[in-house]
Amino acid sequence: MAQQPEYIGTYKILEKIGEGGMAYIYKALQPSLKRTVVIKKLKDPNREIIKRFKKEALLSASFHHQNLVAIYDFIYTNRSYYLIMEYVDGEDLRTIIDHLSPIPPHIAALIALSIARGLEYTHAHNIIHRDIKPSNVLVGYEGNVKLIDFGIARDDLSTRLTITGMIVGTPAYMSPEQANGDDLTPKSDLFSLGILLYEMLTGVKPFEGSNQSEVITRIIRGRYQPIQKVNPAIPYRLRRIVKKCLQHSPKKRYSSATELINDLERFIPWQVRNQKKRIIARFLNDLDKNEPSSVQTVIPDLIKRFSNAKWLVLKSLAAAASLAAMALLFGYLQQKHIGHVQITTADSSAYRIRIDQRKTFTVKGPNILMPSLIQGTHRITLQNLNNNAYLQMLFPVKPARFLTLQLPRQSTMHRSTLRIYTRPESAQLFLDHDSLGFSPFVSDSVAPGRHELLIKKPGFKTLRINIRCYPEQWQRYLFVLEEKD
């Protein structure tokens, strides 16, 4: 294993944050400008890889767009090549899909919209990315979305840049023409973006296989499970967008990223688009890397049992046979992946309930039967409409099991759990004029009710805000501080 250097040129290395097939990735400090950067160090270079690395530097350095990661410098020192890049405090889309999928439709559409805007810019400069995949999309805790890694990008004036003996691109996210080795157009990137959107909305890739050859064969043949059969809850207009992106023939796809952007903007209400950074930041705040997405185990298992060929057979059956097949599928789900939950309350008060990220609904006690839930960990928030008391519960659902949860009496619902994060960290916190120390802050003994929170950090504007803590509810806040003029 390569030893982590203390300095690369004038940049102070803070930590190693990743490693790819081509480079080591470091988080570093640029002392002259007092900013955090990312450094990619090329490992085991040969002539073709160095050419690819330099190409990424030259292409990316010419970009100036909010949805593309900025390149600050390209240096050669101690017989090694380094790329100095903008640091994004967040997660890549691969991590988000693995832990939070299926992503709510409006969130997935907002992320896709940001990627499409980045592609609109690069395509206008005759640049085709050719490697659109989740690990090449960064989502910041502030809600910004950025496309990275133009190492195999190609412009119309350059010769094809390949690495001998290797497939250029990632098989599961290739367009049919890319998998065939044909000449590419910007529509190839839009196909790959359609795969990303499909995966965000379902938690699985449209083209799966036991090996790369099988995946490529499925892409070339254009065979994939219609998205509504994997997740029927996706809105019709968004399903149409995914379907058009994934058209096998480039002529039937969107003519440009601009056309795709127009459809996404028509789907996303302007009120949501105007608050996109805040909405994405709030969604990302729910990320728990110790809690994998339950859909990862469920959907691939179903697809494996009900392949495309079987679905075509089902389509050709009579209505009665189709209903029987659906009943069989539902029975399989009930036995293997779905559990049931009942909540028992102390009285017949009305409660407003929200399960995970779904819409709220209102029911009355004392016995509240929840909708069937897929296996995995779920979060339920209850609001007593009589006294406005809140309770949040986190619990596991097991397949073919019936879980009964006894709601605590009001007398036991007396303290709150509070978590406060800031970007940047180490801000001084005061709650009702009492010092809490520095962010991040966690406490499980905060009194319910309204509180005044004061946040201070040198070089940033002081933030004063009122928050409300509810009995027996944990709350998590993320505040992005604004630099002073």
Q: Which residue has the higher pLDDT, 379 or 214?
A: 214
Environment class of 206 (CB within 10 Å of its CB; exposed 0-12, middle 13-18, buried 19+): buried
Average pLDDT over residues 94-122: 93
Res 28: pLDDT: 93
DSSP 339-408: EEEEEE-SS--EEEEEETTSPPEEEESSEEEPPPEESEEEEEEEEETTT--EEEEEEEE-TT-EEEEEPP
Range 366-371, long-range pairs (CB < 8 A, 24+ positions): 367/342, 367/343, 368/342, 368/343, 368/344, 369/340, 369/341, 369/342, 370/340, 370/341, 370/342, 370/343
Average pLDDT over residues 257-269: 94
Domains of the chain, earliest start first:
7-86 (3.30.200.20), 90-161+168-304 (1.10.510.10), 306-336 (no CATH), 338-412 (2.60.40.10), 416-480 (2.60.40.1120)
Distance in angstroms (rounded) separating the CA atoms of residues 199 and 108: 9
Res 312: pLDDT: 47
Environment class of 143 (CB within 10 Å of its CB; exposed 0-12, middle 13-18, buried 19+): buried
Spell out the residues 6+ positions from residue 51 whose beta carbon is closer than 8 angstroms to its own: 161
Environment class of 167 (CB within 10 Å of its CB; exposed 0-12, middle 13-18, buried 19+): middle
Looking at the DSSP bridge assignments, the partners of residue 394 are 379
Average pLDDT over residues 65-74: 89
Q: Which residue has the higher pLDDT, 337 or 62?
A: 62
Range of 33-42, 107-116, 397-406 with top mean pLDDT: 107-116
Res 415: pLDDT: 64
Range of 22-31, 188-197, 212-221 with top mean pLDDT: 188-197
Distance in angstroms (rounded) separating the CA atoms of residues 128 and 185: 7
Return the CA Rg of the chain: 25
Lowest mean pLDDT among 15-19, 282-286, 327-331: 327-331
The answer, yes or no, to whether residue 224 has pLDDT greater than 80, is: yes
The answer, yes or no, to whether residue 195 has pLDDT greater than 90, is: yes
Whether residue 171 has a cis bond before it, omega within 30° of 0: no
Q: What are phi and psi of 460, to 5 degrees?
A: -125, 155
CB count in 10 Å sphere of residue 355: 16
Distance in angstroms (rounded) separating the CA atoms of residues 393 and 387: 18
Residue closest to 260 by CA, chosen among 64, 126, 117 = 117
Range 311-320, long-range pairs (CB < 8 A, 24+ positions): 311/225, 311/229
| Residues 357-408: tens digit of each pLDDT | 677 788 888 888 777 777 677 778 777 777 666 666 777 777 767 777 776 6
Distance in angstroms (rounded) separating the CA atoms of residues 67 and 146: 4
Range of 60-74, 204-218, 259-273, 427-441 with top mean pLDDT: 259-273
| Residues 297-331: tens digit of each pLDDT | 344 444 444 444 444 444 454 444 444 444 544 45
Environment class of 208 (CB within 10 Å of its CB; exposed 0-12, middle 13-18, buried 19+): middle
Average pLDDT over residues 435-448: 81
Spell out the residues 6+ positions from residue 191 whose beta carbon is closer than 8 angstroms to its own: 175, 176, 245, 246, 247, 250, 253
Lowest mean pLDDT among 7-16, 30-39, 444-453: 444-453
Can you state the percent helix, strand and coil of the chain, rounding each to 5? 35, 30, 35
Helix (H) or strand (E) holding 172: none
The one-character DSSP state at 447 is P
Spell out the residues 6+ positions from residue 228 whose beta carbon is closer than 8 angstroms to its own: 234, 239
Print the SS3 string covering 272-336: HHHCHHHHHHHHHCCCCCCCCCCHHHHHHHHHHHCCHHHHHHHHHCCHHHHHHHHHHHHHHHHHH
Distance in angstroms (rounded) separating the CA atoms of residues 185 and 176: 12
Average pLDDT over residues 197-218: 88
- Vertex 285, ends 282 and 286: CA angle to 5°? 105
Are the C-beta atoms of 389 and 413 separated by less than 8 Å? yes
Q: Which residue has the higher pLDDT, 289 or 124?
A: 124
The gap from C-alpha 64 to its chain's centroid, in whole angstroms, comes to 24
What strand order describes the sheet that includes 90-92? 90-92, 137-140, 145-147
pTM over 0.75: no
Res 388: pLDDT: 62
> 329 to each of 16, 97, 255, how far by Cα in Å?
46, 25, 38
Average pLDDT over residues 232-243: 92
Percentage of residues of the chain with pLDDT beyond 90: 29
Q: Which residue has the higher pLDDT, 200 or 349?
A: 200
Res 361: pLDDT: 83
The answer, yes or no, to whether residue 146 has pLDDT greater than 90, is: yes
Distance in angstroms (rounded) separating the CA atoms of residues 255 and 244: 10
Res 304: pLDDT: 42
Would you name the residues annotated as active-site residues?
131
Six token digits for residue 65: 């767009």
Lowest mean pLDDT among 109-118, 210-219, 265-274, 348-357: 348-357
Distance in angstroms (rounded) separating the CA atoms of residues 147 and 133: 10
